[in-house]
C-alpha cells in the first residue's frame, strides 16, 4: 500500500471513530440495551486507540523506516476492521454471526503489538543502541 493511502486510511479511521462515538453517545442510548451499547463503545475505544497507534508508527516510519512497521500497520488495520467493524455490525443489526469475527480481530490487534515490539527490538539490536 502506498504510504499516502495509509495516511488517508488513518484519517478516515479517525473520522469514523469520532462519528461513531458521537452516534453512540447521542443516537443509540435509547435504541440499544446497556450490554449492546457497551459493546458499541468498546468498538469505538479500540478503534480510537489503534488509530492513534497507527499515527505513531507512521510518524516513526517517516523518520526511520524499520522492518516490521508496515506489517504492524496492516495487522492493526485488519484488526480494527474485524474487531470494531464486527461489533458495530453486531450492535446495529443484531446479527450474532458477526460476533464470530470479533475474536479474530482481537488476535490481529494483539499480533500488531507483538510485531511492533519485535520491530523495535530488532532495530535496537541491529543498531547497537540500548
Assigned C-alpha cell, 116: 511492533
Instruction: Residue 101: name the closest of 93, 31, 29 by CA.
Output: 93
Model confidence over 14-73: pLDDT tens digits? 999 999 999 999 999 899 999 999 999 999 999 999 999 999 999 999 998 999 999 999
CB-based contacts of 76, cutoff 8 Å, min separation 6: 50, 53, 54, 108, 109, 112
Dihedral in degrees, nearest 10, Cα atoms 18, 23, 24, 28: 180
Model confidence over 97-119: pLDDT tens digits? 998 999 999 999 999 999 999 99
Distance from C-alpha of 13 to C-alpha of 93, rounded to nearest angstrom: 21
Assigned C-alpha cell, 15: 473520522
pTM exceeding the 0.75 threshold for the entire prediction? yes
Distance from C-alpha of 3 to C-alpha of 73, rounded to nearest angstrom: 11
Amino acid at each position: 500500500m502506498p504510504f499516502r493511502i495509509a495516511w488517508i486510511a488513518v484519517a478516515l479511521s479517525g473520522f469514523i471513530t469520532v462519528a461513531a462515538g458521537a452516534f453512540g453517545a447521542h443516537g443509540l442510548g435509547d435504541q440499544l440495551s446497556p450490554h449492546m451499547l457497551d459493546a458499541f463503545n468498546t468498538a469505538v475505544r479500540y478503534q480510537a486507540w489503534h488509530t492513534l497507534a497507527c499515527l505513531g508508527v507512521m510518524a516513526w516510519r517517516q523518520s526511520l523506516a524499520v522492518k516490521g512497521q508496515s506489517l504492524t500497520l496492516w495487522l492493526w488495520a485488519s484488526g480494527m476492521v474485524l474487531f470494531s467493524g464486527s461489533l458495530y455490525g453486531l450492535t446495529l443489526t443484531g446479527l450474532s454471526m458477526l460476533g464470530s469475527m470479533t475474536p479474530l480481530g482481537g488476535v490481529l490487534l494483539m499480533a500488531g503489538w507483538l510485531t511492533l515490539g519485535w520491530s523495535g527490538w530488532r532495530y535496537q539490536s541491529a543498531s547497537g543502541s540500548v
